[in-house]
Amino acid sequence: MTDLALRVEQLSKRYELGTREPYYALRDSIVRWAKKPFQKSEPVPADRNPYVWALKDLSFEVPTGQAVGILGHNGAGKSTLLKILSRVTEPTGGQATLYGRVGSLLEVGTGFHPELTGRENIFINGSILGMSQKEIRARFDEIVAFAEIERFLDTPVKRYSSGMYMRLAFSVAAHLQPEILLVDELLAVGDAAFQKKCLNRMSDVSRSGRTVLFVSHQMTAMKNLCQRGLYIEHGELAYEGTIDEAINRYLDSSQPIQQINISERQDRRGSGIVRFDELKITGPEGSERIEAGDELTFTLRYSSRDQTPRRLRFLVGLYDPLDTSLFRLDSDKTAQLDGTLPPSGTIVCKTGKLNLTAGSCYVNIAVLAEGQIADHLAHAADIEVQPADFYQTGRCFERNETLFLLEQEWSLDAH
């Protein structure tokens, strides 16, 4: 009996650009056959490669009972890897050997038949996983209770909401006791209470000696659940080791702050009497990785056309991708820069905690001389706020749940 849950050897997957995976119903094949004489094939330009490698020569092993986090940026090949392991798609080269039954939760409702009820889909999915009818019945009540769909158990799943789909799909995969559980972006759907239940359940699965492969962009959840991490970059294995180091490598490569040489920018507004020469944005201890709850430092270097000291006012604005103003820093709001300033210098503004959820933002900067705009730069830098456990509860809040995070304290006044 091997102590490995799975072994991946030189695994590769190549896709042809502009094509789909070959799966057709009979009617689709008839329609394609009828249209074929009228379709013109467009030659691929000589300078364009018609293929893309989603995975290339990927090799690793996972011991039984480990929870492994798979990290990588969008398009790195994470989901392709799980689809190959789940036998949803075939590899172009190499092989993956799995020792035991596999349960997978790759997309909401994957494997469900929309016309069948929740009850019927539980038994079908259990059978697909290799469970006997007796084994499924023994865990049936536990599956239904976890999914919280008792009232809708005999309703066709096509009438379920996406949240109900997710509850039932995860409950089936987690409670039918596969030796290996593959989960892709589990926390993308569902409320906070359900997400917590899922994480607790996956922890129980791992502690029971089974294996979990977990893909997520929620670093805190991954850190709490996983012992090991695989960092995939452009379809290749860039790092294999501890989950902490895998997360660090992923975050270090994400370029959360994209700063440009603003001294060369020509798209400026203002009189030009004073202008910005440099903008630098850093997080704690000079880091260029910004997490929710971090303090920020904006360093602005400016110069004047002449040697006249002036009363200057500096503004820094942060906006979301929809151009919504998130906050504005204004040197006039404090007495620290009151009065005239030298014709050139460096201004440093340090903020308190950045109470924003994870997501993309951009920065505008401006300087006013004697009340008139001297220099204004839109999109002077982009910031990708990384998720963090702001409330120390073991989970992160996403931008689609809330925009701002506030420190808070709750208590019960019992009478």
Q: What CATH number does the domain containing 296 carry?
A: 2.70.50.60
Tell me if 82 is assigned to some domain. Answer: yes
| Mean pLDDT across the chain | 82
Tens of pLDDT, residue by residue over 307-342, are: 888 999 999 999 887 778 898 999 988 877 877 899
Indicate if 140 and 183 belong to the same structural domain. yes
Indicate if 183 and 317 belong to the same structural domain. no
Tens of pLDDT, residue by residue over 200-236, are: 887 787 778 888 898 877 777 788 888 899 999 989 9
Residues 6+ apart with CB under 8 A from 310: 273, 274, 304, 340, 341, 343, 369, 370
Percent of the residues in the chain that have a pLDDT greater than 70, as a whole number: 85
Indicate if 235 and 325 belong to the same structural domain. no
Q: What CATH number does the domain containing 187 carry?
A: 3.40.50.300
10 Å CB burial of residue 4 (0-12, 13-18, 19+) is middle
Indicate if 173 and 191 belong to the same structural domain. yes
Indicate if 219 and 177 belong to the same structural domain. yes
Indicate if 78 and 152 belong to the same structural domain. yes
Q: Which of 233, 252, 271 is the last residue of a domain?
A: 252
The domain in which residue 344 lies consists of: 257-385
Tell me if 44 is assigned to some domain. Answer: no
Query: What's the number of domains the chain is made of?
Result: 2
Give yes or no for residue 356 having a pLDDT over 60: yes
Average pLDDT estimate for 82-90:
87
Indicate if 370 and 339 belong to the same structural domain. yes
Report field, pTM of the whole predicted structure over 0.85: no
Tell me if 182 is assigned to some domain. Answer: yes
pLDDT at residue 1, rounded to an integer:
47
User: What number of other Cβ atoms are within 10 A of residue 22's Cβ?
Assistant: 5
Give yes or no for residue 68 having a pLDDT over 90: yes
pLDDT at residue 32, rounded to an integer:
57
Average pLDDT estimate for 294-318:
93
pLDDT band at 359 (very low <50, low <70, confident <90, very high): confident
Q: Which of 191, 141, 145 lies closest to 166 in space, CA to CA?
A: 191
